Structure 1
Amino acid sequence: MNDEEMEEMNDDGLVEVERHGRVLVLRMVDAARRNVLSQGLLSCLAREFAAAERDEDTHVVVLAGLPEVFSLGLSREGLLALTGGASVGSTESAVSAPVRCALPVVAAMRGHAISGGLLLGTYADVPVLSDRSCYGANFMRYGISPTAGATYVLGARLGEFLANEMLLTARNYQGAELRGRGVPVQVAPHDEVEDRAMAIAEEIAAAPRRSLILLKRQRTARFRAAVREACLHEVTTFETLMALPETRRRIEAGYPTWTVES
């Protein structure tokens, strides 16, 4: 079996690993729950990103999802655990894995990406969105303040005014609308997203691995520092709101288990 054909599924069956020469594709495939960010999926991603860093044959990582769903954010169970006092720290760390990976990461965000799912993709060095999929940060729909660096990352990636509107209104935006609003990330026709992401990854992968690692380290230093500062400001408000009975009621009454509103 050659590189183009080789595919490996990890033990938990939530992330598939595909090698294409110097490019490693990590594909989230929890179809049953539409790639919600369960602890299992987050653990798988952390493990596979770490393995990619150790692999001298890998120069670039592509993070992908299902054709219609990239990721719908934190699971309902995960959110309810946070209302009971669970620490948000491990979730923040896992969602920011693409920027913390030493190698360049391209996100093929072909399907819907909501809240934590949108953050996961926009933490990548190069996100590619679909013109027909929905993207949003619906924290306020449940009375939850943004976390995991959202107050900085969304503005840095999508533009400050759009990110502010997205966070306040908690509505979803179709990729074509985001392109019309002038987002500085690529928005491709739905069926071309993964090809576009792979083409970008292969261009990047032509450079020496050590050079890519050093460039990413330099390019992300200020970004990561700003994310850390944002998280420090976010956590107090987040923990205060998550402790309110109303927040738990909103999550229990309206938070979907795996569906997405468009």
Structure 2
Amino acid sequence: MQEVIIERPTPHVAVVRLNRPEARNALGQALRAQLAAHFLALGQDDGVRCIVLTGGEQVFAAGADLRALADSGPIEVLLLNNQRMWQAIAACPKPVIAAVNGHALGGGCELAMHADIIVAGEGAKFGQPEIRVGIMPGAGGTQRLVRAVGKFKAMRMLLTGQPVSGREAFDMGLASEVVADERVQARALELAAEIAAMPPLAAAQIKEVLLAGQDAPLEAALMLERKAFQLLLASEDKQEGMRAFLDKRAAVFKGA
């Protein structure tokens, strides 16, 4: 059975769906490898302008596969080079929307935080419970979480292992939107379609500059922004967008 399913529901939108329901989408090695391969391919696919990452309507991802991890030693885990699999997602040039229903715990929460936008259901549960089994997050859970919600809220989640609801995640800055559980998938697809209709070169530059600049000194980050802005002035999409605005019609962007 494929542990990751790719769907193309609308033009220029791809859905990456975790498909390991018997293990609540636990992130085993095979699933991680498939995720990395798909994100690498979709990142290079000119026909894709936005990606929705989801586990479905019941659970996003319940974390690492503890059965496999329980008997693993440090060198064994080191040799897996799992950071390369996570990097394939983190470095994806296309905007990524995580549609989170149900549990997003441990590696599942870390996976959601690799996205650019998170749409959470009211009944979602975000958490980093690693401390409860004697370990700590190892795929960005301490670093991405503190950047999203600040030190004090991150410390509470990390040191207690207690999850937060979709509503709490939104209030603390861990989710972009919170909607009724039954609306999560549809809302993520609506957002994806809206982004896919935008000029893809501009979307890619916005993502690249925001991520590169968020931890850089302000002056360096502003320089990156200026250079990207100037570069986009040479695009055909800039000409189309401004012409369409002046003509009072919908623009058709080609990514050129």
State the match for 1:190 in structure 2.
Answer: 181
Say if 2:56 is the partner of 1:66: yes
Structure 1 residues 38-84: Cα deviation after superposition (integer angstroms, max 9, x where no partner): 01111111111111122111001110112111001111144235435
> What is the Cα-based RMSD across aligned positions, in Å?
2.1
Say if 2:4 is the partner of 1:15: yes
TM-score by length of 2: 0.76
Aligned positions of 1:1-262 closer than 5 A: 12-19=1-8, 20-88=10-78, 90-179=81-170, 181=172, 183=174, 185-222=176-213
TM-score by length of 1: 0.74
2-structure distance, mates of 1:178, 1:218: 25
SS in 1 for 2:198: coil
SS in 2 for 1:58: coil
Give the number of aligned pairs. Answer: 214
On the 8 A contact 2:97/2:115 being kept in 1, the answer is yes
For residues 96 and 114 of structure 1, do their structure 2 counterparts lie closer, same or farther at Cα, with a shift above 3 Å needed? farther
2-structure distance, mates of 1:176, 1:212: 28
The Cα shift of 1:214 comes to: 2.2
For residues 35 and 54 of structure 1, do their structure 2 counterparts lie closer, same or farther at Cα, with a shift above 3 Å needed? same
1-structure distance, mates of 2:193, 2:22: 31
Structure 1 residues 114-154: Cα deviation after superposition (integer angstroms, max 9, x where no partner): 01100101110001111112211001101212222221101
For residues 144 and 191 of structure 1, do their structure 2 counterparts lie closer, same or farther at Cα, with a shift above 3 Å needed? same
The sequence identity of aligned pairs, in percent, is 33
2-structure distance, mates of 1:211, 1:178: 29
On the 8 A contact 1:95/1:116 being kept in 2, the answer is no
Structure 1: runs of 5+ lacking an equivalent: 1-11, 226-262
SS in 2 for 1:165: helix
1-structure distance, mates of 2:13, 2:31: 21
Structure 2: runs of 5+ lacking an equivalent: 217-256
2-structure distance, mates of 1:147, 1:84: 12
State the match for 2:243 in structure 1.
Answer: none
On the 8 A contact 1:97/1:123 being kept in 2, the answer is no
For residues 182 and 219 of structure 1, do their structure 2 counterparts lie closer, same or farther at Cα, with a shift above 3 Å needed? closer
Report the structure number with the largest CA radius of gyration. Answer: 2
2-structure distance, mates of 1:73, 1:224: 27
For residues 78 and 95 of structure 1, do their structure 2 counterparts lie closer, same or farther at Cα, with a shift above 3 Å needed? farther
Higher relative contact order (CA 8 A, sep 6+): 1
On the 8 A contact 1:96/1:120 being kept in 2, the answer is no
Please say which of residues 56-65 and 83-92 is displaced more in the overlay. 83-92
The Cα shift of 1:94 comes to: 2.4
SS in 2 for 1:108: strand
For residues 24 and 34 of structure 1, do their structure 2 counterparts lie closer, same or farther at Cα, with a shift above 3 Å needed? same
SS in 1 for 2:138: coil
The Cα shift of 1:199 comes to: 1.5
